[in-house]
């Protein structure tokens, strides 16, 4: 355990000295990597769990407000520029808009666990002048969920690092374990985002299949007559 702490302190002295400030800024403007690193640092005893959990939650909530107010003051222009250039992207954005119209709270929470859909949904909420009190609640819930998930993964990889390589004081192994933790979160977030997008498009596919089936039955019956 002491080997791990000493390794981190000697390799990243600036991070250790200003750890809470840097991680707070990272949670606002970057998010993923900073939170995984935070979980890793908790596992090594470099930082405390409760303070960093609160710091990350506040930072990620502020990130949500940042995109909300971009949409509030800039309107839908950022979404139009990002999401309507290609037919596939335009269809996904339209589905997110439709889903947001029906289940705004769920959309804000669920898309916190995706990549590009997070920004699009938060900007959309701002551009539609979505009730700020409701947005604050859902933004807070989604932020807590994402912070817990990333902290857990970072902590898990930190524990694995200590278990397997505590006796090998080597910065290469440290970087590999951190990289593995970040890669896992990216994969999980991509998988969740893909599943969420597919669920939005599934309704249209089912309707299309139902219409084709109905047309086929109608044609079959008309031929019989």
57: tokens are 């939650």
Rounded Cα distance, 97 and 104, in Å: 9
Q: Which two tokens stand for residue 140?
A: 């807070």
Q: H/E/C letters for each residue in 147-164?
A: HHHHHHHHHHHHHHHHHH
The rounded distance, in Å, linking the Cα atoms of 45 and 39 is 10
Find where tokens 């920004």 sit.
Answer: 119
The pTM assigned to this predicted structure is: 0.68
Model confidence pLDDT, tens digit, residues 35-80: 888 888 888 788 899 999 999 999 999 999 999 999 899 877 777 6
What pLDDT, on the 0 to 100 scale, is given for residue 49? Answer: 92
**Structure tokens that stand for 176 in this block:** 């590999």
CB 185 within 8 A of CB 146: no
More confidently predicted of 54 and 161: 54
- The torsion region of residue 154 among left (phi > 0), alpha (psi -120 to 50) and beta comes to alpha
In sequence order, which residues have a C-beta less than 8 Å from that of residue 200 and are 6 or more positions away?
92, 95, 96, 98, 99
The model's pLDDT over 166-208, given as tens digits with 9 standing for 90+, comes to: 544 555 666 666 666 667 666 666 665 555 555 555 555 545 5
């Amino acid at each position: 355990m002491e080997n791990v702490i000493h390794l981190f302190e000697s390799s990243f002295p600036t991070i250790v000295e200003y750890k809470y400030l840097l991680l707070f800024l990272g949670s606002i403007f970057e998010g993923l990597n900073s939170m995984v690193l935070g979980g890793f640092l908790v596992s090594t005893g470099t930082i405390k769990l409760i303070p960093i959990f609160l710091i990350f939650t506040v930072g990620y909530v502020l990130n949500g407000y940042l995109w909300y107010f971009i949409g509030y003051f800039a309107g839908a222009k950022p979404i139009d520029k990002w999401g309507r250039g290609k037919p596939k992207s335009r269809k996904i954005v339209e589905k997110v808009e439709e889903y947001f119209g029906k289940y705004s709270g769920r959309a804000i929470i669920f898309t916190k666990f995706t990549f590009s859909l997070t920004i699009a949904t938060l900007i959309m909420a701002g551009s539609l002048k979505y009730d700020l009190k409701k947005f604050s609640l859902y933004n807070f819930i989604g932020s807590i969920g994402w912070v817990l998930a990333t902290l857990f993964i970072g902590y898990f990889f930190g524990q694995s690092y200590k278990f397997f390589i505590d006796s090998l004081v080597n910065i290469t192994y440290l970087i590999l374990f951190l990289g593995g933790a970040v890669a896992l979160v990216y994969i999980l977030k991509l998988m969740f985002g893909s599943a969420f997008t597919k669920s939005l498009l599934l309704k249209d596919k089912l309707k299309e299949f139902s219409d084709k089936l109905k047309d086929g039955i109608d044609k079959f019956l008309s031929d019989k007559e």
